[in-house]
Structure 1
Amino acid sequence: LCSNILSLAMRGLDETPAELWELQDLQKLNLSMNCLCSLPPALGSLDNLVILNLLGNNLSSLPPEIGLLKKLRVLLANNQISSLPSSLAAMHHLTKLNLSHNRIVHIPTCVYSMKGLVFLHLACNRLETIADQIQDLVNLKILIVEGNSIHTLPKTLCFLDSLELLNVDFNELQNVPDEMYQLSRLRRLACHPLDKGLHIIHNPLLKPIHEVLQGGLSALYNYLKPT
């Protein structure tokens, strides 16, 4: 076992052992599938952490001190979170953020400051909108927001020309922005959850978009492009 990797997954923990916060060389910490309701401020002392896995706990919030983890690249937290501490805006090295299966109504403002994000997973929350600031995440390749209550997509989403996978299935979308044809790296209309491309057909799309999509992504883009 590598000394800078620690897994305490599936231990039935309802609180973290105090000794944990003395392991300041830790780079990978797995606390998934426990019964944790909170994390102490001491989390901020693990300033060499690169990966933090909090999946499958009962956390309703994260301590502001998490913003001290300047080297963090991966944060996984499917819990009962409704907001994030603003200190997370300082996480410029974060490349993967999984906040699916939480209680988030609005994408926290700090997320739009995470300029290094390549992967953002917000499925199965309570989102109704995506803010125009989504365009700030210029390195984003994968955006998953399926299973929310999103009614419209901002046209600024279409400026993310690195996107290879956009999953907006199972929302309340009736239409798409005219600028969507600019997302040239999506390549195709995707069906399997792991496929790259655009996942959109499971929405109450109106005519003519619904019919146009039967011809695939190229048909949609041809329809949307200005003549």
Structure 2
Amino acid sequence: MGGTQSKNVTDEEAMTSGRRSAGQDENLPTVERIRKHTVTHFGFRVLILARRGMLELPEELWELTELQKLNLSLNLLRSIPSSLGVLQNLVVLNLWGNQLTSLPPEIGRLRNLKVLFAYRNRLSDVPEELGCCTKLEVLSLANNQLTGLPASLSALSGLKKLNLSHNHITHIPGCVYTMKNLVFLQLACNRLENIADQIQALADLKILIVEGNCIHSLPKMICCLTKLELLNVDFNDIQNVPAEMHRLRGLERLACHPLDKGLHIMHNPLLKPIKDVLEGGLQALYNYLKAP
């Protein structure tokens, strides 16, 4: 009995405490109620407002200027107000999985931003001001309606990972060729017909994915990317490969699984000699290409 009585008292105290806490929350200004949801994670001030079904953002959010990581993913947002520019301490901004048709020009004021996820939205263009975010290292604009990028993004010289897959891009934007620190470039499922010779400028590339396009041939200059560990050109219109391709020693095998390193070149109308040689593996291809 004593144990039961003790438990009842504890439960009653907890309920009273909960009611008191809820009452205290109601008395707080709205901005403080939002601030109570922020946490410190690995030294960063973080606020997660994902999966809230939000159609618009609370005005009080823009008072939390201390935020360094903000997650607004998987909501129903159609726009982000210009007030975003006041969050100048942001390092990571997660906007993926909304219904955004544009990003505000004020995003350019986020000079400390290193990671921007804006994939799975309805973006048809990107503001030129994004080029002012010169600390960006990771940028994902996949699954949108982009046809290109503004030339101003040439300033993103520190970018390491760029994902532009599943858009309407017909040629690799010129600004991409100036992003000389890129190690990962994803352009799958666009409308590319070629890769320009300028690709040789991306000497640090380790992963290049252009599967699911309409590329007719690979330029010789792609063979300058000797750090490549994964090159995926599956599902294109390629008939032949450059003779210099044997220089890509980092591609150690023919790969089938999407995550495997190596050369992915399946589902292309390869000419018969190349197709037959590939049955012997990547080394057989290299030997064939090197033969006088």
Give me the TM-score of the superposition, normalised by structure 1.
0.98
CA RMSD of superposed structures (Å): 0.8
Tell me what 2:146 maps to.
81
Q: 1:15 aligns with which of 79, 86, 89?
A: 79
Distance 2:115 2:147 in 1: 22
Q: Distance in 1 between matches of 2:242 and 2:145?
A: 31
The structure carrying a bigger helix percent of its residues is: 2
Q: Which residue of 2 aligns with 1:179?
A: 244
Query: Structure 1, residues 108-158: CA drift from partner, whole Å, max 9, x if none?
Result: 111000000000000000000000000000100000000000000000000
Question: Shift of residue 47 of structure 1?
Answer: 0.8
In the alignment, which residue of structure 1 is the partner of 2:197? Answer: 132
Structure with the greater relative contact order (CA < 8 A, sep ≥ 6): 1 or 2?
A: 1
Aligned partners of 2:131, 2:147: CA distance in 1, in Å?
Answer: 17
Give yes or no for the alignment of 1:57 onto 2:121.
yes
1:6 aligns with 2:70: yes
SS at 1:156 equivalent: helix
Secondary structure of 1:201's counterpart equals coil
| Aligned with residue 210 of structure 2, among 130, 145, 153 | 145
Unaligned runs of 5+ in 1: none
Amino acid across the alignment from 2:130: I
Structure having the higher Rg: 2
Equivalent of 2:105, from 33, 41, 45? Answer: 41
- Identity %, equivalent residues: 62
Q: CA deviation at 1:206?
A: 1.0
| Correspondent of 2:256 among 157, 182, 191 | 191
| 1:19 CA drift (Å) | 3.6
Question: How far did residue 20 of structure 1 move?
Answer: 2.6
The alpha-carbon deviation at position 18 of structure 1 amounts to 4.1
Q: How does 1:150-161 map to 2 (within 5 A)?
A: 150-161=215-226
Preserved CA contact (<8 Å) 2:197 2:219: yes
Give the count of matched residue pairs. Answer: 227
| Partner residue in 2 for 1:103 | 168
Structure 2 unaligned runs (5+)?
1-38, 46-67
Q: Deviation at 1:105?
A: 0.2
TM-score normalised by structure 2 residue count: 0.77
Equivalent in the alignment of 1:119: 184
Q: Structure 1 runs of 4+ off > 3 angstroms? A: none
Distance across 1 between alignment mates of 2:266 and 2:90:
43
Cα separation, 1, equivalents of 2:130 and 2:114: 12
Shift of 1:11: 1.0
